[in-house]
Amino acid sequence: MKISKKTVLNILLILFVLSFFVTPLGHYGKIFLNRLLAFSPPVIEESQQEKINDYDWRLKDEDWDFFNFEKSKGNVVFINLWASWRLPSEAELASIQDLYDQYKGKMDFYIITNEDRPPVEAFMEEHEFTFPVTYLIIGEKMPISPEKVPSSYLIDKSGNIVIHKEGIADWSNRKIYKLLDELIAE
């Protein structure tokens, strides 16, 4: 029995597609596709921006110490809600790391998860992320919605939500850098 070239190509294509479901190649392929399809988040028109008035929000830092979000009042703030087990979060965090590297010390970063420390620390080490992790206190009142993960907010010095993006976004691009430079300079 002779196997045609078309049959061999079909078998190879099926094996390639199956590899996305049963091998590590699939995981990295999905991460790559998520990053490829992530775009710069849209800026909310000034007339449509909501304002955060209540900064009284308790969180835990990477050392598991309590602190209050109030310390960021009057600063430009980037908030990202993420989970280490969510593939879109994993794909997005590389651009957030780039953003953090570019703007640490110039604005406040809250990369927030509701997970326990051990899996988060292992995830951070595995991916060589250095941004500070913030831990959500379940049941604590919040000025933002924790419903969608990943989800991000960019807040100006006056407390206006300039960007609210549900799902993955590319945070490491000229458009965002230009906006942040303007917000920080205000």
**Residue pLDDT, tens place only, 64-87:** 899 999 999 999 999 999 998 876
The pLDDT tens digits for 20-66 are 667 666 666 666 766 666 678 889 999 999 999 899 999 999 998 99
pTM of structure: 0.82
pLDDT at site 27: 64
C-alpha 14/C-alpha 35 separation (Å) is 24
CB atoms within 10 A of CB 72: 21
> Which residue in 96, 133, 130 sits closest to 118, CA to CA?
133
> Which residue type occupies 154?
L
3-state secondary structure string across 79-133: EEECCCCCHHHHHHHHHHHHHHHHHECCEEEEEEECCCHHHHHHHHHHHCCCCCE
